[in-house]
Structure 1
Amino acid sequence: MSVVSFTRNGNFIGLLLANTILGFAMPMLLILGGLTGLQLASDTALVTLPASVQTLAGMLAAAPFSVVMGRFGRRAGFAAGGILALVGAGIGAFALITGNFVLLCLGHFILGAALSSFQYFRFAAAEVVSPDWQPVAISLMLTSGLVAAIGGPQIFIMAKDALAPIPLAGAYVALAAVIVVGMVPLALVRIPTAPIAKTHATTKRFASFAVLRRGPVRRAVGIAAISQGVMIFMMIPTPLAMLGCGFTEAVAGDVIRWHVVAMFAPSFVTGFLIKWFGKESIALTGLVILAIAAVAGAAGLSSAHFYGSLILLGVGWNFSFIGATSMLASAVTDAEKSAVQGVNDTIIALVSTICAFAAGLVVTGLGWAVVAIVSMIIVVLAVGALVLSKAQPASA
């Protein structure tokens, strides 16, 4: 596939457009989860429950959505996710109108499940281009996160008072509108459906775990899970650590903003770097940058240390996560994709959930320096394990 044919690939362009629009939902929900919980929760301990159940639902729904896509196609899976998102947004708005906290949690649970389906856009992008362009397609698909980080909060600001005097309810209506608009480009996309392996039911059930024993697959899943987990482990407690060091909320927020920019801005070139230097080389480079980010975090508590650490953290995540995704896309057959990708995203979500909860406990109990040191140790151990795994025979 030439550069011209890649840029004229209607299926890829449709997926990129849909993913960019639907990506607005995530930052909107990051804002809504805490604010609506604060508005309706009867106990301050329950304020983060909507956001927590949203994360839990994403973990539980990742594998089922992959199975649905493997059997009925990517478009069917994305459409199911869109319908669920519309239901969840409607329940969220109704919960605010009625002041029902339980309904609010239910709405965010459904929304979390729906958003897990959109994580498969990166794999769908790899399936509509030739193998040599897969890293570029995956990388460019993640640039939508940069657009969403800017546009999502802006949509929230414009829509939050649309149903005044009920605060924030309008944002759920705007979220539903975003979902509807984002689903339109998918009507024009044609994604090949992977063949379904004709094996015994029990074999199917455990096939994905057997595939994980293969070295290339194991390394791809491991790098993705480690990079996502370390990124979450350091990012989540950063505002709390900065406030504890005397910085203002504005400065802490600006550090997170530049971290998000660093997460997605490199995506414009990461795919090309993978084409030139190889998937595993870029993924390993990402892990090294993550380790350097942890060292920078542990080195001091000035604003420069926080900015530098979180920017490096974003770049390291970008290289390692896109590299790992490209590795997985090329390491499995079409018949294995739905099962293995589901297990991959479930493992990533599980690691992310554990790291999110652990980060708060560590930073409040032991301090920011310990968070950074633990992150560094995890990455160093992961790199060592990957090097040993790479040295094993190909049959491992």
Structure 2
Amino acid sequence: MTIAPIVEPKIGQRIAQILFITQSLGSAALIANATVNPIVGSKLGGSDILAGVPGTLLLLGAAIASYPAGILMQRIGRRPGLALGFYLGSFGMAVGGYAIVSGSFLLFLLGLFLIGGARGAVDQSRYAAADANLPENRARAISTVVFAGTVGAVGGPLLVAPLGVLVNSMFGFEALAGPMIGGAVLFGISGLLISGLLRPDPRDIGKVISDALKKDDDAPVAAARELRAIARLHGVQLAALSMLIGQAMMVLVMTVTSLHMKNHDHNLADISLVIMAHTLGMYGLSFLTGTIADRYGRNTVIAVGALVLILGCVVAPLSTDVLPLAIGLFLVGVGWNMCYIGGSSLLADNLAPNERGRYQGAVELTVNVASAAGSLSSGFILAGLGFTVLCVIASVLTCAPLLVLMFRRLKARNIAAFE
């Protein structure tokens, strides 16, 4: 196979590294703000009931923006599309920071909605990494970008206090505005890095790779298929299902774990330890997941990921002690990671370059809606049925990708038996 120098492995690796840096900065900004947003929501809104509204607005913004962002990137390219996403996030955080300083709850919610819209775009960075790499390297490229979440998970909370002190001492602002103002700077820097360094555009690299592969297969370049036709592809269905289920069930369990622990008299140190274990599971093994997906196949990673997620849901409610909860939440994080990276890689494999932006945006929309549904329903399930039943529900629903894989394997064996 002869492919133009534009898609030499070093080019794809460099693109993935740039996206890792920008995602690390963006992730740190988002997690720093997520640490204080419930406090700000409660303070500006005047009631603890409103503490969860900022997170809901962010998820809503991400869900609404995901599909248009995918279409935009397909038309104008990954570089300008991602850069616009980061600039929007910078503006949204500036609005949020001003809202905190001025004491405006509605303006704060507007800022969160804009930040959510930015997230709907920049979360598609992993697809840009996939575009820029050959099929046998795609999962590792995606895992590089996903691993940036580790930097955010560690660095984000550590930024909260210093940024608060900085804006208070320099400008006399409310310390809670620090993460928003600092986040605006980090998102702005990420946008500039994307604009200046993400070259060639990953979308264009993806087209060159696809054209070269089609020439080797001696097949003509086809027009973009309709969304309905793409949605009927078995690989696309499994990819979307694995990401949707993995995300929704992870959020369902994670969202209420801290409250579950608080209800059993754990202190903040215990809760932080369990959440840290969960975050490590989500992002820390990304490189290993990518390597396994490229070597042994996407289906294998998805199946193992679903099993690990189920195992985590079984372990977590066994005891209210810190160790079982930490192990359970760690496994839930690892299972999510494998479903997420395996599903993202499988989706990229099944789409042509002129289809990726649009359909990947549609899948991101469903994943964000599922995430919001998991977040909103978790509190009701915990209050009405308890943590154990919540984990049982998550375990049962996580069986869906496994059932799809088993059904298709049995169907393939039956067809082979009749031939």
Match of 2:305 among 278, 282, 286: 286
What do residues 288-321 of structure 1 show as CA deviations (whole Å, max 9, x unaligned)? Answer: 0011111112333322221111011111111111
1:184 aligns with 2:188: no
Distance 2:191 2:95 in 1: 20
What do residues 81-100 of structure 1 show as CA deviations (whole Å, max 9, x unaligned)? Answer: 12211221111111112111
Contact 2:63 2:369 survives alignment (8 Å): yes
Contact 1:146 1:264 survives alignment (8 Å): yes
Task: Identify the residue that residue 369 of structure 2 maps to in structure 1.
Answer: 350
- 17-26 vs 317-326, greater mean Cα deviation: 17-26
Contact 2:163 2:182 survives alignment (8 Å): yes
Q: Shift of residue 389 of structure 1?
A: 4.2
Task: Identify the residue that residue 181 of structure 2 maps to in structure 1.
Answer: 173
Tell me the amino acid that sits aligned with residue 15 of structure 1: L
Task: Identify the residue that residue 63 of structure 1 maps to in structure 2.
Answer: 67
Distance 1:86 1:275 in 2: 35
Q: Shift of residue 274 of structure 1?
A: 1.4
Task: Identify the residue that residue 276 of structure 1 maps to in structure 2.
Answer: 295
What do residues 333-359 of structure 1 show as CA deviations (whole Å, max 9, x unaligned)? Answer: 111111210111011111111111111
Distance 1:31 1:131 in 2: 37
1:245 aligns with 2:268: no
Contact 1:161 1:169 survives alignment (8 Å): no
Contact 1:228 1:348 survives alignment (8 Å): yes
* Cα RMSD after superposing both structures: 2.2
Cα 1:9–1:305 shift into 2, 3 Å: closer
Q: Shift of residue 28 of structure 1?
A: 1.6
Contact 1:161 1:168 survives alignment (8 Å): no
Cα 1:390–1:61 shift into 2, 3 Å: farther
Task: Identify the residue that residue 57 of structure 2 maps to in structure 1.
Answer: 53
Cα 1:390–1:66 shift into 2, 3 Å: farther
Match of 2:338 among 290, 300, 319: 319
- Please show how residues 141-220 of structure 1 align to structure 2 within 5 Å: 141-164=145-168, 165=172, 166-186=174-194, 187-189=196-198, 190-193=200-203, 207-220=226-239
Task: Identify the residue that residue 310 of structure 1 maps to in structure 2.
Answer: 329
Tell me the amino acid that sits aligned with residue 112 of structure 1: G
Distance 1:346 1:271 in 2: 23
Tell me the amino acid that sits aligned with residue 238 of structure 1: T
TM-score (norm 2): 0.87
Tell me the amino acid that sits aligned with residue 319 of structure 2: G
- Please show how residues 18-33 of structure 1 align to structure 2 within 5 Å: 18-33=22-37
Q: Shift of residue 383 of structure 1?
A: 1.7
Task: Identify the residue that residue 338 of structure 1 maps to in structure 2.
Answer: 357
Q: Shift of residue 160 of structure 1?
A: 1.4
Identity %: 25
1:137 aligns with 2:147: no
Paired positions, count: 385
Tell me the amino acid that sits aligned with residue 286 of structure 1: G
Name the SS for the 2:201 alignment partner. coil
Distance 2:100 2:202 in 1: 41
What do residues 328-386 of structure 1 show as CA deviations (whole Å, max 9, x unaligned)? Answer: 11011111111210111011111111111111111111111111111111112442134
Tell me the amino acid that sits aligned with residue 287 of structure 1: A
Name the SS for the 1:182 alignment partner. helix
Name the SS for the 2:372 alignment partner. helix
Tell me the amino acid that sits aligned with residue 186 of structure 2: V
Task: Identify the residue that residue 376 of structure 1 maps to in structure 2.
Answer: 395
Cα 1:8–1:101 shift into 2, 3 Å: closer
Distance 2:289 2:299 in 1: 12
Contact 1:18 1:184 survives alignment (8 Å): no
Distance 1:43 1:154 in 2: 27
Task: Identify the residue that residue 200 of structure 1 maps to in structure 2.
Answer: none
Name the SS for the 1:24 alignment partner. helix
Task: Identify the residue that residue 126 of structure 1 maps to in structure 2.
Answer: 130
Name the SS for the 2:175 alignment partner. coil
Cα 1:90–1:384 shift into 2, 3 Å: same
Q: Shift of residue 33 of structure 1?
A: 1.6
Distance 1:272 1:363 in 2: 37
Tell me the amino acid that sits aligned with residue 175 of structure 2: P
- 41-50 vs 87-96, greater mean Cα deviation: 41-50
Task: Identify the residue that residue 82 of structure 2 maps to in structure 1.
Answer: 78
Contact 2:277 2:327 survives alignment (8 Å): no
Distance 2:347 2:283 in 1: 20
Tell me the amino acid that sits aligned with residue 370 of structure 2: V
Distance 1:302 1:7 in 2: 48
Distance 2:271 2:48 in 1: 22
Distance 1:179 1:305 in 2: 37
Distance 1:219 1:84 in 2: 32
In structure 2, list runs of 5 or more residues that go unmatched. Answer: 208-222, 414-419
Cα 1:380–1:9 shift into 2, 3 Å: closer
Task: Identify the residue that residue 117 of structure 1 maps to in structure 2.
Answer: 121
Contact 1:162 1:171 survives alignment (8 Å): no
TM-score (norm 1): 0.92
Distance 2:153 2:247 in 1: 18
Distance 1:390 1:340 in 2: 26
Match of 1:265 among 264, 284, 294: 284
Greater percentage in helix: 2
Distance 1:301 1:9 in 2: 43
Distance 2:250 2:109 in 1: 26
